[in-house]
Amino acid sequence: MNDIQHLINKINKFRDERNWRQYHNPKDLAISISIEAAELLEGFQWINSEEALKTNKENIREEIADVLIYSLMLCSDLGLDVKEIVEEKVVKNGRKYPIR
């Protein structure tokens, strides 16, 4: 089994053990990604990157994890293959921003 699917399985096991999928409609998962993204951003509020990584490294680490967890949940629920959608977008970005 590949690593991404392994992580998705752990995340799904976590929420099924608690019967939480009932709350996890796609719109609320998208909302959650935004909420966690802002909590990540809060680690950099008022200060520069260097200072943020000195002071808030642990928080930043956890908030990136939260963004990834909800994003993986949403991919899983929408039947999207992470590898496929990321590779497709990198290719699309390549056409939008050709190498000069």
| Residues near its own copies, by CB under 8 A | 2-4, 6-7, 10-11, 14, 17-18, 23, 25-28, 30-35, 37-46, 48-49, 52-53, 60-62, 64-69, 71-72, 74-75, 78, 80, 82-83, 85-90, 92-94, 97, 99
Q: Which two tokens stand for residue 14?
A: 């976590």
| Rounded distance between C-alpha atoms, residue 15 and residue 20, angstroms | 5
Nearest approach in angstroms of CB 14 to its own copies is 5
| Rounded distance between C-alpha atoms, residue 33 and residue 28, angstroms | 9
* Close Cβ partners of 39 (under 8 Å, ≥ 6 residues apart): 63, 66
Nearest approach in angstroms of CB 77 to its own copies is 10
